[in-house]
Amino acid sequence: MPETPVSLLRAAMAADATRPFTTFYDDATGERVELSVATFDNWVAKTANLLQDDLGAEPGQRLALLLPAHWQAQVWLMASWAVGLVVVPDGDPAGADLVVSGPDTLDAARACGGERVALSLRPMGARFTEVPAGFLDYAAEVAGHGDRFVPYVPVGADAEALELDGRTRTAAEVGQAGADAAAEWGLTSGDRLLSALPFTREGGLRAGLLAPLAAAVPVVLCRNLEQIDESALERRISTERVTRTITDSEG
């Protein structure tokens, strides 16, 4: 069977659930979060259960994802694919069945006539101090959901999963995009990738999630990287044992 992002995550869990999966930096707040494969999978399962059980999400529905490159955006992508949704990064909320928004895009997200979920993007996935009107607070809603997920309807590799740059891709094509990027960049066991590219472009998705999944290597995901100088970036690369930095031109 063709590999999909969901099957790749299952394989990572089976191989070594304790290894690092993603390390996130926000250089505007000083936040650093590190998630193992198991912890990441737990967040994905809880979010998928929230989507399926509380929000009534069904395979084939469109989810507008209005989030920056962030560890919680990685979670929402994987959870949406587990349910069988078509994720549209930076998509038009008015044409979506559900919308997931950060704090800076709430006004645009209100155009969605379906379920609306808001993320504070505060350190450690904290709740909003005041829940935005018309939205569910993700941090408040997700905690009570189970850490194992089974879809009501099995999601096949040929299911539509991603709409980006005017093209719709199946789950298998999304998984293959990660494998192709891993091969292009020569990623092997022992590598560690660093990316600051947005998820609104295929290169950002490949570097920030899909290639690390396909190659089973950790990723260091950076937001607001422009706020640190070159020497600070060099220290991060050394401290995090980064072997491959994906630049804007490569992505």
The two counts, helices (H) then strands (E), for the chain are 9, 12
CB contact at 8 A, 23 and 222: no
Contact assessment for residue 171 and residue 5, using Cβ atoms and an 8 Å cutoff: yes
Task: 32-35: list long-range contacts, CB under 8 Å, 24+ apart.
Answer: 33/71, 33/123, 33/124, 35/71
Q: What is the CATH number of the domain that holds 88?
A: 3.40.50.12780
For residues 104 and 82, give the distance between their C-alpha atoms in angstroms, rounded to a whole number: 27
Give the C-alpha separation, 63 to 204, whole Å. Answer: 18
Say whether pLDDT at 1 is over 90: no
231 located within any domain: no
Looking at residue 80, its pLDDT comes to 98
Instruction: Evaluate whether residue 225 is within a structural domain.
Output: no
In a domain, 76, yes or no: yes
Q: Are 251 and 219 in contact (CB under 8 A)?
A: no
Structural domain contains residue 244: no
Answer yes or no: is 206 within a domain.
yes
**Rounded-to-integer distance, Cα 69 and Cα 65, Å:** 11
What's the average model confidence in pLDDT over 121-137?
94
Strand, coil or helix: 49: helix
Average pLDDT, the chain: 96
Q: Tell me: pLDDT of 249 over 60.
A: no
Average pLDDT over residues 127-132: 96
Task: Map residue 76 onto helix, strand or coil.
Answer: helix
pTM of structure: 0.97
Q: What is the pLDDT of residues 24-80, one digit of tens each?
A: 999 999 999 999 999 999 999 999 999 999 999 999 999 999 999 999 999 999 999
Residue 222 lies in a domain: no
Best CA proximity match to 102, nearest among 79, 135, 77, 56 = 135
What is the reported pLDDT for 105? 98
Place of tokens 């994720």: 87
Q: Is residue 124 part of a domain?
A: yes
Reported as a pLDDT band with limits 50, 70 and 90, residue 227 is very high
Residue with tokens 């996130």: 24
pLDDT for the residue numbered 251: 60
Total of domains in the chain = 1
pLDDT above 90 as % of the chain: 94
Does the pLDDT value for residue 250 go beyond 70? no
Q: Which domain holds residue 203?
A: 5-187+199-214
Distances 61 to 1, 32, 107 between C-alpha atoms, Å: 24, 33, 22
CA distances from 181 to 158, 170, 184 (A): 20, 17, 5
- Does residue 221 sit within a domain? no
Per residue in 157-201, pLDDT (tens digit) is 999 999 998 899 999 999 999 999 999 999 998 999 999 999 999
